[in-house]
Amino acid sequence: MDIPEAHVRHLRLIARQRQKLGGMLASEKNRLHKVLSDSGIRLGVLFSDMHGQAARDMTKALIAGKPLPDVLDLAGRLRASRADLFEALQPEELSQAHLFVLGETMAHIEELEARMGRFEQELLKGLSAWQTELVLLQTIPGIDVMGAAMLLVEISAEMQNFGSAERLALWVGICPGNNESAGKRKTGKTRKGNAWVRRLLCEFAQAASRSRCALKDKFAALSIRKGHKKSIVALAHKMLRIVFAVLKNKTPYLDKVVDYEALSVQRKAPRWMKMLIKHGYMPTAA
């Protein structure tokens, strides 16, 4: 691959720093959860996302020293009963040291999130010429707008620079090695390549393996033989080939499992209903 132009190299600086901040943010979130568990507060048992709005509001209320009834009122639409919440919020040892570390960690988490937001705005602003490619990449399960942006600044939108999906996979280092002798395969380790792209692809594969799409079925079939980690790498390799085809042909990804017509109706039906009622084609609700 040729050396990219200066504009793309500058955007890479932004994207890679944003990725570094993401790693720091994940580490701080894990630390916050560990300190809560150490004090005996077990919110993680009740919340699937410890950093959703309700869980965060409750954590911040605990740090601020608010009464327990006020903290419980912040649970929102959580399915857990008030009694379960009350039990989970009973600390075994919530010391002043715990509160100090929790407060400083929460402040750092919110600072990192704000900083990442500024990096994301700057990155998307610099990719204004690649809006079409950004939209096309988001049709692939597991890839959101920021994932698409960070992938584009690494591999660019010009697939003729690579020539084929195989050469792109070789450059990234996501394809398995081919060490075979006398009909016996000795190793299947991936080669060295672009670690930034490889990390992104594995994140995409993790997300796609949990969504309703053909890629999820592919992961399930692979994991029976290969195990979780190798299956994620194999799925990442497949997704990179899909990325190559989408960018080369300038066509969206169409998943054979997803009913795109039903999704379109689900997304647009409320607006259609309002317009039909507004223009008298449907009676208003009594």
Taking residue 125's Cβ as centre, other Cβ atoms within 10 Å add up to 10
One-letter identity of residue 209: S
Query: What's the chain's Rg over C-alpha atoms?
Result: 24
Average pLDDT over residues 99-123: 95
Going along the chain from its start, the domains and CATH numbers come out as 6-128 (1.10.287), 129-249 (no CATH)
pLDDT at position 92 is 77
Q: 172-224 pLDDT, tens per residue?
A: 988 765 555 555 655 556 667 888 999 999 999 999 998 888 888 899 998 88
Average pLDDT over residues 243-269: 81
Q: Per the structure block, which two tokens stand in for 276?
A: 């039909």
Region of residue 185 (left: phi > 0; alpha: psi -120 to 50; beta: else) = beta
Determine the distance from the C-alpha atom of residue 77 to the mean position of all C-alpha atoms in its chain, rounded to a whole number: 24
pLDDT at position 68 is 81
One-letter identity of residue 58: M
Sign of torsion over alpha carbons 104, 105, 106, 108: positive
137: pLDDT confidence band, cut at 50, 70 and 90?
very high
Q: 33-57 pLDDT, tens per residue?
A: 999 888 888 877 777 777 888 888 8
Contact 214, 257 (CB under 8 A): yes
Average pLDDT over residues 103-121: 95
